[in-house]
Amino acid sequence: MGILSNIFHKIFPSSHPAVAQQKTAPAPAPAAAPAAKPQAAPASPATATAAQSPAAPAQPAALSEVDVEAILNGKAQQAGQQLNWRTSIVDLLKLLDLDSSLQARKELAQELNYTGDTGDSATMNVWLHRQVMNKLAANGGKVPADLKD
């Protein structure tokens, strides 16, 4: 996917759906297959219920367990420099050991469909930070409410 994908890889564990779905493009097909199996096996409702019970709670639990704030605070403590990831997209990218150059941020803006003026880097940076936090939250990250829409 690009820069956003790199951000996800740095924050989410490799087994997390937000990372796993980016590794393989045909992720929707396997998701449809398990939904079809319980419908195809109504003859043994006990087996179908047992198969659904462990799978259903496991996925939401995995999504809700990724505490983005804790992960980033931990990285900030080990960074060796003071980085304000809570308000700065540049510092967030630096903290994640990613390219924080203006060109990289413009690429991220394009990736996230920024419609503003990329020449106004201050406005773009604020928008980028908010969008990255929103994307992290939408993909199972626990993000502080004041950092997202």
Check whether 6 has a pLDDT greater than 80.
yes
SS3 66: strand
Residue 80: beta bridge partners? none
The domains of the chain are located at: 3-13+66-147
Cα→Cα distances 10→2, 43, 49, Å: 13, 45, 36
Rounded to two decimals, the pTM is: 0.70
User: For residue range 100-111, what is the model confidence (pLDDT) as tens digits?
Assistant: 999 999 999 999
Q: What type of residue is 89?
A: I
Single-letter amino acid code for the residue at 96? L
pLDDT in tens, 79-132: 889 999 999 999 999 999 999 999 999 999 999 999 999 999 999 999 999 999
CA-only gyration radius of the chain, Å: 19
